[in-house]
Amino acid sequence: MSKDIPVVSIIGKQNTGKTTLIGLIIPLLKLKGHRVGTIKYNIPSFEIDYEGKDTHRHYQAGADIVSISSPEKLAIIKRVDRKPPLIKEIIERNYQDIDIVLVEGYKKWRYPYIEIQNSRKHQKPATKKYKNHLKITGIMKAHSPIPNFSEDDLNNVIHFVESKIK
């Protein structure tokens, strides 16, 4: 029986610190005993397998699914017929032993999300409060109805993420 795994998306423009924030959040959640998964959205395609490797040769020969495993890791490469695969489907099939999934990108999906804004540019103020939205900026903005934290306030970020874990 599958369980609903909570998801928090980390969104923002390129080079605003999404990957850095995820890299800071994961060890803090792990220290609290949570099992953490991540999903990274990439446009338009990506490669984790390289020419000359056996798995690459299997995939090039037409295999629909290629796996490589060791006592410490498992990687699965699967052909998909639609773009992008649904996050829910990916999670249901592969993340059932995880407490929380942090997603980088997929900003069009309506999961609770942390929005990172580049503080060097003027940002349009938020007009409504959304309980599943946290904004991180380099400069505090007192008039925003959305919870707004500076980029070094990880305690509140962790509290927000943990509030989504059932």
pTM, rounded to two decimals: 0.76
pLDDT per position as a tens digit, 63-86: 999 999 999 988 888 887 766 557
Q: Which of 9, 7, 8, 11 is nearest to 115 (CA)?
A: 11
Share of the chain above pLDDT 70, in %: 72
Which pLDDT band holds residue 156 (cuts at 50, 70, 90)?
confident
98, 118 contact by CB (below 8 A): no
pLDDT at 85: 59
Query: Where in the chain are the domains?
Result: 7-41+84-162, 45-81
Neighbours of 148 (CB within 10 A): 21
Whether 130 shows a pLDDT value over 80: the answer reads: no
pLDDT per position as a tens digit, 82-114: 665 577 888 888 899 999 999 997 777 778 888
CATH class of 7-41+84-162: alpha beta
Sign of CA dihedral 52, 54, 60, 64: negative
